[in-house]
Each structure stands twice: as structure tokens, then as C-alpha cells.
Amino acid sequence: MMNTFPKETAFLVLSDGTLIEGKAFGFRGTVFGELVFNTGITGYEEVLTDPSYFGQLITFTYPELGNTGVNFQDQESDSPSAKGVISRRFSAKASNWRSKKTFENWLKDEQVVGIWDIDTRALVRLLRSSGTMNAAISSDGLDSPSGLLEKIRKQPLMTGLNLTTEVTTKKPYKWDLCSSVEFDKRLINNQNIPFKVVAIDFGIKRSILDRLVSHGCEVQVLPADASYSDVMDYEPEGVFFSNGPGDPAAVKEGISLAKQLIETKNLPMFGICLGHQILGLALGCKTFKLPYGHRGLNHPCGKNGQIEITSQNHGFALDVSSVDQQIIDITHINLNDGTVAGMAMCNRPVFGIQYHPEASPGPHDADHHFARFVELMSERRLKVV
């Protein structure tokens, strides 16, 4: 039996004037955001609910979405952070034993605007040559393409935007859950006394919290604007700086916090993605915007013959020329473009990685970074005792 697709016209308009006509799915409306692409062949539910995608329109290079529906267990946050979805095709039906809702109905309920039946390969080639840019998806017929273009050009650029305030928790909370997947459960209770970790939420993913718990951590999550005293009130044995959206250089409070902690405490500190960039900025490095970012499940990173296949989602990176290698050791390089993918302080238990080690494209290539964080806290605990 053939799938039935909606036939209403939708438009994708780019800030360079490119106009692409397609068909509408999901919520009917008009949304503006930075147009990016993701190269993963699975995980659309995790991608759309990752807070690091806040304010963006995501082009999926995999040609069909929606086949497995939506199950809610795989969500990285309560609701989608991305504003829009761009696909070659989508399945109006779901076929998976875990599915609780069709992809189409989920997008409608969450007010995420979609456009399909477009040449996503050509669109990605355009973004790779011209770079990410602001765009709009419109499926409600209220604006003409020329009117949309005028509005797009008034939208702020991603550079200079602190979007962590849009996605961070409003109040502190404790996280003590982990995934039901056996791999995620097997490390629980590997410590008689859990390590007390404060996690700074710049847009943290649930699966990252799950892995910290699975590695024996008791996690207290604090908002992005947490102060030094807020953190130290919990007497942490380690501090974690999370992933998140926007320009890392604009997250002034997070950079200030990291700098204070590095200067005054010898606490183990671990940063992922935006958190990695914030640690770098606190150590005097500079960041820059990548032409089209790293977003996918297949990015090789490593050094000295040791390679990890990694999951990534970011549009900024540390400038390698700004790294003081007397203070910082570059531990991982992105093998696709040579950008900094991992770093560690030479004389402090502080390190960060540009990718998301809780994901499993390798299938578990990068999980050892959580173990390293725990090992550093264990060494500190022995010294304190």
C-alpha cells in the first residue's frame, strides 16, 4: 500500500537568494534559523531534541526520515530544539516496535516545520561551497519568497550569539538515572561512594548525564550562569562543562567560571563540545566559526595512530594557532580538516573533547573519556585522604 503524503507547497529560502520549492510536512508555519546539515543515517529523534541545534534548520543527508516513528525514550531533552527539518522524503507511517507516534504527528505536536521532496544532495553541496547561512522554511502561505528573503536578511547571525540562556535549566536538579540499554547499565555501582560531580548545563543531553551516572557519578546539574560559589557550595570532586548551542566566545559567564576554577582549584574538569571550547577560551585560546560545521556520526578523530569514530555537532572550533602548547596538549585532531578535536592541560586534571563521546558510532570508541574523568577524580580522592 502506497504512503499518502501531504501535497501542500512549502518554500525554503536562503539568505543568498536561493529559492527551493518542496512539499510541506509537520507543523504548518514559517521559521527562520541557521541552515545546517547532518550526515547521520539514523537518530533523527536524538538530533532534533539535541539542545545544541537550538535555532537551526537541519538538512538530513539520509534520504528518508520517519520510518521508525518516535519513541520518546531516545530524546535528548523534553522537546525538539531545532526549528525546522529538511528531507528528501519522509515516511508517513511508522514501523518499529518502540514507536509511540508517527514522525509527522510528532512534528505537528511540537510545532516543528518541515519541507520534503527537495534535492538535499544539491542543497548540501551548496552549503559546503558557500557555508552555512540563515534561511527560512515556510509552509503556511502567509509570506511571498521575496518577503521571506527580506526577513531572513534581518535575522542575527550565529556569530556572537549566546544561546545557552535559551536551553539551560532554570533551576538546579540532581540526575541519578541511566539508560535501560545493558551497555549503559553495566558500570553502575562500580564505586562504593559515587563521585560528586557538578555539571554546568549549557544545553546538556540526557545521554551524557546517563553516562556520567553509569561511570559512578552523582550529578548535580546547575544553570549556565552558575557562579563559582554556586559550584563550590556542592563540594564537587569534579566539574563537567556540557555541550550547547551558539558562539562559545559569547558565553562570558561560563568562561569566567572555568577560569576561576582552573586558577583556584585543582579539581578534575571535563568539557564536551561547547564545554571543551569554553575551557579552551578560559585558557587563553581563541575560537572561530567553521565554514559548514561538523554534524554527523562518522567523524574520525585522534592522534599518533589511535583513532576514534565520533559523533559531532558544532559550528565553532578552537583556533590551533592560539593554543599555548606549554600549557595545553592537543590530544586529538579531526582527521577530516585538521581542527582541534581534543585538548588537555599539561599541569592540571583538565581536559576537553570537541565531540560527543556518549554516542556510539564506533560503536563505543569514545566512552573511555568518561572513565578518564572518573580516574582523575579517583586519584584526587586518594590524595585528599
82 and 174 together in one domain: no
Q: What is the pLDDT of residue 182?
A: 62
Parallel/antiparallel/unpaired status of strands 89-90 and 173-175 = unpaired
Cell of 277: 571550547
Parallel/antiparallel/unpaired status of strands 56-60 and 30-38 = parallel
Which of 215, 314, 332, 356 is catalytic? The answer is 356
Q: Which of 101, 87, 109 is nearest to 26 (CA)?
A: 109
Contact at 8 Å (CB) between 284 and 318? no
Q: Domain boundary residue among 131, 152, 173?
A: 152
148 and 170 together in one domain: no
CA distance 157 to 169: 24
For residue 126, being part of any structural domain is answered with yes
86 and 207 together in one domain: no
For residue 1, being part of any structural domain is answered with no
Which of 178, 273, 285, 301 is catalytic? The answer is 273
Q: What is the pLDDT of residue 178?
A: 78
Which of 34, 45, 104, 358 is catalytic? The answer is 358
Burial of 382 (0-12, 13-18, 19+ CB in 10 A): exposed
Residues 6+ apart with CB under 8 A from 2: none
93 and 220 together in one domain: no
For residue 81, being part of any structural domain is answered with yes
For residue 73, being part of any structural domain is answered with yes
Is 346 known to be catalytic?
no
25 and 117 together in one domain: yes
Supply angle C-alpha 168, 174, 175, rounded to 5: 90
Cis upstream peptide for 363 (omega within 30°): yes
187 and 298 together in one domain: yes
Cα–Cα distances (Å) from 21 to 24, 77, 91, 212, in that order, read: 10, 31, 19, 44
For residue 172, being part of any structural domain is answered with yes
End-to-end CA distance of the chain: 68
Is 273 known to be catalytic?
yes
Q: Domain boundary residue among 99, 120, 152?
A: 152
The total of other beta-carbon atoms located within 10 Å of residue 93's CB is 14
φ, ψ at 25 (rounded to 5°): -150, 170
Secondary structure (DSSP) of 149-204:
HHHHTTSPPSTT---HHHHS-SS-EEE----SSHHHHTTTT-SSS-EEEEEE-SS-
Supply angle C-alpha 331, 365, 370, rounded to 5: 70
Contact at 8 Å (CB) between 112 and 27? yes
Is 358 known to be catalytic?
yes
Domain with 109 in it: what CATH number?
A: 3.50.30.20
Q: What is the pLDDT of residue 361?
A: 73
176 and 137 together in one domain: no
Amino acid at 326: Q
For residue 4, being part of any structural domain is answered with no
138 and 230 together in one domain: no
177 and 145 together in one domain: no
246 and 363 together in one domain: yes
Domain span including residue 69: 9-152
147 and 180 together in one domain: no
Residue 228 DSSP SS3: helix
Cell of 50: 539535541
Please identify every stretch of the chain with a pLDDT value under 70, giving residue numbers as ranges: 1-7, 179-191, 362, 385
148 and 180 together in one domain: no
Domain with 332 in it: what CATH number?
A: 3.40.50.880
Cell of 124: 548540501
Q: Domain boundary residue among 152, 178, 202?
A: 152
For residue 2, being part of any structural domain is answered with no
Number of domains in the chain: 2
CA distance 272 to 101: 31
For residue 106, being part of any structural domain is answered with yes
Q: What is the pLDDT of residue 1?
A: 36
CA distance 193 to 27: 48
